[in-house]
Amino acid sequence: MDLTQQWPVPPTTEANRTRARVEYRLDGVQLELDAVDCDSVPFERGDPVRNFPSWRLKRHYDGYHWMGALGASVGFESLTERGCLIELDRTPGVVAIASQPMWIRWTTPDGPREHCPDYFVRLDDGHAVLMDVKPATQIKDDVRRQFDMTAVFAAERGWRYVVYDAESVVREANLRFLGPFRDWASSEELPMLPEDGLPLAEVAALLGVGSEGFAHCYAHLWSGALEADLDQALNIRTIVWQRSV
């Protein structure tokens, strides 16, 4: 996942500038600050500020996804959020993730507004990424305004704001299949592949004998050292190529 692809920050003027306060939970304590004072809060260590509601005939799924890179489980409220977590699990530089990290409460000329972003992500260089998850088809005008306000809030903190809007059942299924092979990754230099790649079965044969070669190939596909079109179902004829530098 490219965490540099941010939601555009709309221009602000004195006329449309808003005040905000932030409510969060840290070490079991409910806390609240003016937004200008929350820049250095370790939100990645925080507890969720809201629970996932349940009701009869609920049509979406929630639960916890095990993040192998972090050694921790992180909550999700939909299958799209689970897909986002799977992508984050293989994204270099991610060191911590908090679900439902804060309430942002704005005072605007049109009255109060509030929003609870889906995730707060800490990177190994210290940068922070605030994230929301919403399929592109569901981003209507009211949601877009909410995301615009959140983008301004994040920019004022020096954070990135990313909206994950993908929804590919096939890609998620491929990644869920590849994930368990992560530990098969080898530090040995990969053999050079033709520029236009090779079928997966041939790449596996270059990496080992039988199932071991496939395991190494799957591990490198998970890490991104090898690439393929993961929006198509993986099979032995899938074309695999080396990651471009």
Residue 99's identity, in one-letter code, is S
- Give CA–CA dist 153/141, Å, rounded: 18
pLDDT digit string, tens, across residues 106-140: 998 888 999 999 999 999 999 999 999 999 899 99
Helical segments of 103-210, H only: 141-157, 169-178, 200-207
Residue 245 pLDDT > 80 = no
pLDDT digit string, tens, across residues 36-91: 999 999 999 999 999 876 666 556 678 999 999 999 999 999 989 999 999 999 99
Domain extents for the chain?
19-164, 169-242
Separation of CA 155 from chain center = 18
196 three-class SS: coil
CATH number of 19-164: 3.40.1350.10
- Give CA–CA dist 32/103, Å, rounded: 9
